[in-house]
Amino acid sequence: MKNIAVLVSGGGTNLQALIDAEKSGIIKSGKINLVISNNPDAFALERAKKAGIKTVVCNKKELGSEFENKLISVLEENETDFIVLAGFMCILSEKFTSHFERKIINVHPSLIPSFCGKGFYGLRVHEAALNYGVKVTGATVHFVNEIPDGGEIIMQKAVEIKDGDTPEILQKRVMEEAEWKILPLSLEKVCSELK
């Protein structure tokens, strides 16, 4: 059973999808034993506490240049085997990503290589998709390396764009139809394959 840490910054809807997937048996090769947030006010911390999962706050503003060192020490103290970035709004350096090579995954709300990389997060991704006029979008789960959204793709799921979609409506549909489905499946896949 692999120890999984989930890194969050906000509401924690993807974290909730993972907690629910673990309860329902979709995730069976690992257990979420730690949730770390860079934001002390993240509602994701409440979700974790309600599920009985240990929480730690690593405030980037307070820690400054020690932020990643603190993250690494907390992850190692908790014997973390695998890390999930679930709405974690901090770009991690090569020093961090290479320390946990092929042990960090992220979910991104588009079909990479479209609408990804530096500056593409949250509603910005869906605004860009709608402005460009694409007919299909979706979500991608990928390994994390030093390039934002640049790691090897694990799983993707397409979502149709409908007439009248706003960025908010599209964001919700992408979460419900793609992110919340492929993130747990990808986590189970990589945990089951991890030596």
Which strand ranges, in their side-by-side order, compose the sheet holding 82-85?
Answer: 54-57, 30-37, 2-8, 82-85, 104-108, 136-143, 153-160
Alpha-carbon torsion angle 111, 181, 87, 1, nearest 10: -120
Q: How far is CA 185 from CA 11, 70, 181, in A?
A: 21, 29, 7
Catalytic annotation, pick one of 99, 108, 126, 142: 108
* 142 DSSP 8-state letter: E
- Polymer length in residues for the chain: 195
How far is residue 178's CA from residue 168's CA, in Å, rounded to a whole number? 15
Residue 108 is a catalytic residue = yes
How far is residue 32's CA from residue 27's CA, in Å, rounded to a whole number? 10
Contact, 11 vs 43, CB < 8 A? yes
**Amino acid making up residue 138:** G
* 152 DSSP 8-state letter: P
Q: Which residues are catalytic?
A: 108
